[in-house]
Copies of this chain bind each other. A is one copy, B any other.
Amino acid sequence: MLDYQAPLRDMQFILEELAGLERIGELPGCEDALPDLVSAVLEEAGKFAAGVLAPLNPVGDQQGCRLKGERVVTPEGWQAAYDQFREAGWIGLSLPPEHGGQGLPKLVSSPVWEMWFSANMAFAMLPQLNVGQTEALTIAANEAQKATWLDKIVSGEWAATMNLTEPQAGSDLAATRMRAEPEGDDAYRLFGQKIFISYGEHELTPNIVHLVLARLPDAPPGVKGLSLFLVPKYLLDEQGEPGQRNDIRCIAIEHKMGIHGSPTCTLSYGDDGGALGYLVGEPHQGLATMFVMMNEARFNVGIQGLALGERAYQAALAYARERVQGRDIVTGEAGKAILTHPDVKRMLVSMRARLMAMRGLLYSAAGWFDLARHHPEAEAADKYRRYVDLLMPVAKGWCTEVGNDLCDEAIQVFGGMGFVEETGVAQLFRDARVITIYEGTTGIQANDLLGRKILREDAATLRELIADIRQTAGRLDGHEHLGDLAQPLHDLATLLDQSADWLLAHQADTAELYAGAVPLLHLLGIACGAWQMARLALAAEARRTAGDGDPDYLTGLSELARFYLATQAPQAHAHGHTLRHAGAVLSRFSEQAL
């Protein structure tokens, strides 16, 4: 079994030096995020992740979930772990205090979620849904609904789900067919089938609150005709407790390549007269609210990329330190661990460099999220909101792609032992394969980035971001220890500018343009990673010069940045070349020649 230890030192360094923990703690509403409290939270979470959740990860994989009639049986230990998790108050960590949450900033909850996903992603998907649903209901539900449902969702007494997909409506929600018929008093009867519903049915909680996209009888076609409904598994009795079973059935669970511990359900609504549900927000405005929940989910899936990569890295590093094989290529000495082989070392350094780049980007984005929500000045808040919007598809799309690469590389470090299931790294690889797919595939993220986030505003926010990157590059110019990093970072900024110019100049050639969406997403991801790594190196050198911290650790961070630029920056330039040159070939390529 794989061990897991929360990488507290790395997390703390990035929270403090890159994501501005101190500044976030000064924002109105974030005053609880004091350094000591944050450290204590991270340490406790690390213990829970390592001690309770991580040992259950292989159990979930091996046992999976079973459908018995219409009941879903989750793996052994899931119930006890969920009860402990809920009782410890972890679900409400970043949720509104008025509903029982602790109201800590997203910057603090992000590393904690990283730990849950590293330890046991299939398990952590369950409470993650409560967070997203709370965000959505907070924005769109009326006061009575909030009073009825939110406390129990924030505490985790009841579980939550998100019901979007139907067999004919996956990436394209416009094709949604589920219908809702009025039943008086804000109540509706729902009819139809939803698929791919994570934790759509289970008995870990006495109730499950489904948020469901459906069409009212007078709905216009397309996504502008989607309304959002809250549909509980059990209707509430007069005391507000789960009473009569609603007309929802789990008719199948998927047999998946990974995340076996998380039941993926097909739910049938209304086979027996209609499932009773309540409209959330205005009619036909459901998609916007669902997007709040989905954006929360997308950011968290980006964190899953980091988290699985971290777990895979820890496993690979431990194996590489322990496994003796071959001779030292320089000294010829036998009996050395494989970590001494240059190619194995290359894989591990490369993994760690990309982990730090992802962590830098994701935690920074979490900080921007808090700044957007809490910054007292509207203009500053707006800038951070635009940063979050621009980079959400990168956080999701790029970090999940990189997370997959890291799990793949970890198997390579294990060699043949990586391909057998007993070492556990194969599970990480199989689990990771879903993250570039669910909550919007990489292609969907890339289209969102290109169309809604860049072209729609003539790349305005992207240009602001590029200016920030240039400013960091400027701090490297002539730097005593890091001067060699300046030019590659300047070059990436220039590449981004040229790419933006190219995109704006080719807006008329839609097919050619969108053929470059995924290369663009990779390019921007790598460039943002390089920016964060440069900031990391600057912070590490500053601390080292000030004698503040372990000099080996700090020098290691600078070298990681150097390695990142030597290996990843050329990839960004390659993606830039592809962006500019492949679309034209592709758009005239005949489908018949495939």
A566 to B510, CA, bound (A): 19
The reply to whether B325 and A172 form a contact with Cβ atoms under 8 Å apart is: yes
Nearest Cβ on chain B to A29's Cβ, whole angstroms: 38
Nearest Cβ on chain B to A233's Cβ, whole angstroms: 23
A348 to B438, CA, bound (A): 20
Which of B168, B419, B592 interacts with A258 by CB under 8 Å? Answer: B419
Of the listed stretches A145-153, A176-184, A371-379, A410-418, chain B binds A410-418
In the complex this chain forms, how many copies of it are found? Answer: 2
A430 to B510, CA, bound (A): 36
The reply to whether A589 and B556 form a contact with Cβ atoms under 8 Å apart is: yes
The reply to whether A570 and B559 form a contact with Cβ atoms under 8 Å apart is: no
CB within 8 Å for A412 and B436 given contacts A422-B255, A443-B344:
yes
CB within 8 Å for A420 and B586 given contacts A342-B514, A510-B330:
no
Which of B254, B430, B518, B556 interacts with A590 by CB under 8 Å? Answer: B556
Chain B residues contacting A196 (CB-CB under 8 Å) are 416
Of the listed stretches A73-81, A241-249, A381-389, A576-584, chain B binds A576-584
A436 to B408, CA, bound (A): 11
Chain B residues contacting A553 (CB-CB under 8 Å) are 593
Question: Is A345 an interface residue when CB atoms closer than 8 A count as contact?
Answer: yes
Chain B residues contacting A317 (CB-CB under 8 Å) are 594
Q: Chain A 59-85, CB within 8 Å of chain B: the 1/0 string?
A: 000000000000000000000000000
Question: Is A352 an interface residue when CB atoms closer than 8 A count as contact?
Answer: yes
The reply to whether B559 and A593 form a contact with Cβ atoms under 8 Å apart is: yes
A511 to B330, CA, bound (A): 7
* Residue tally, chain A, CB below 8 Å to B: 95
Nearest Cβ on chain B to A198's Cβ, whole angstroms: 11
Q: Chain A 543-562, CB within 8 Å of chain B: the 1/0 string?
A: 00000000011011101101
The reply to whether B412 and A325 form a contact with Cβ atoms under 8 Å apart is: no
The reply to whether B255 and A421 form a contact with Cβ atoms under 8 Å apart is: yes
The reply to whether B586 and A345 form a contact with Cβ atoms under 8 Å apart is: yes
Closest to A316 in B: B594
Question: Is A56 an interface residue when CB atoms closer than 8 A count as contact?
Answer: no
Question: Is A326 an interface residue when CB atoms closer than 8 A count as contact?
Answer: yes
Q: Which of A343, A344, A446: most chain B CB closer than 10 A?
A: A343
The reply to whether B587 and A342 form a contact with Cβ atoms under 8 Å apart is: yes
Chain B residues contacting A257 (CB-CB under 8 Å) are 419-421, 426, 429-430
The reply to whether A256 and B419 form a contact with Cβ atoms under 8 Å apart is: yes
A325 to B264, CA, bound (A): 21
Question: Is A361 an interface residue when CB atoms closer than 8 A count as contact?
Answer: no
Question: Is A234 an interface residue when CB atoms closer than 8 A count as contact?
Answer: no
Residues of A that sit less than 8 Å from B by CB:
165, 168, 170-172, 174-175, 196, 254-258, 264, 317, 324-327, 329-330, 339-346, 348-349, 352, 404, 408, 411-412, 415-416, 418-422, 426, 429-430, 433-434, 436-438, 441-443, 446-447, 510-515, 517-518, 552-553, 555-557, 559-560, 562-563, 566-567, 570-571, 573-575, 577-578, 581-583, 585-594
A170-B416, A556-B592 are known; give 5 further A-B pairs, CB within 8 A: A257-B419, A346-B586, A349-B594, A429-B433, A559-B585
What are 8 of the A-B contact pairs (CB < 8 Å)?
Answer: A168-B324, A171-B325, A172-B325, A255-B421, A255-B422, A330-B510, A419-B434, A574-B574
